[in-house]
């Protein structure tokens, strides 16, 4: 009842799940890595694709290799072309993370 007439109720299940995954990607900490890794196996491609994005975002923010490893494992078995593309883009974020920033000293 609390969400009646709001965008939350207008979204179908896949859209609602996507919104939850995006929110986790924007705010989640280490505890969210297991949730997002499970979401990579969801039956909805929309959820899997956004889980890839969210894992990259959280993993990069935390500098946590578990996110990259989960993405690599999923890429080996993923059949959906769009989800594969999202996983590849997400993995690219980890490659960028290891590049030195010009003008910055470590």
Helices and strands: H and E segment counts in the chain: 6, 0
The residue ranking higher by pLDDT, 31 or 12, is 31
Q: In this structure, which long-range contacts are made by residues 62-67, counting pairs with CB atoms below 8 Å and at least 24 apart in sequence? A: 62/29, 62/30, 62/33, 63/97, 64/30, 64/33, 66/33, 66/37, 67/33, 67/36, 67/37, 67/94
Q: Is the pLDDT of residue 64 over 80?
A: yes
pTM over 0.85: no
Residue with tokens 């799940």: 17
The residue ranking higher by pLDDT, 1 or 43, is 43
Q: Is the pLDDT of residue 14 over 90?
A: no
Pick the CATH number of 7-97 from 1.25.10, 1.25.40, 1.10.150, 1.10.3470: 1.25.10
Domain map (residue ranges) of the chain = 7-97
pLDDT at 38: 98
């Amino acid at each position: 009842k609390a969400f009646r007439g709001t965008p939350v109720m207008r979204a179908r299940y896949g859209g609602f799940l996507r919104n939850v995954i995006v929110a986790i990607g924007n705010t989640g900490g280490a505890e969210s890595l297991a949730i997002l890794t499970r979401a990579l196996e969801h039956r909805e491609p929309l959820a899997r694709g956004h889980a890839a994005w969210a894992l990259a975002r959280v993993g990069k923010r935390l500098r946590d290799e578990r996110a990259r490893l989960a993405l690599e494992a999923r890429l080996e078995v993923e059949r959906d072309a769009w989800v594969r593309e999202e996983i590849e883009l997400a993995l690219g974020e980890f490659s960028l993370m290891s590049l030195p920033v010009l003008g910055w000293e470590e």
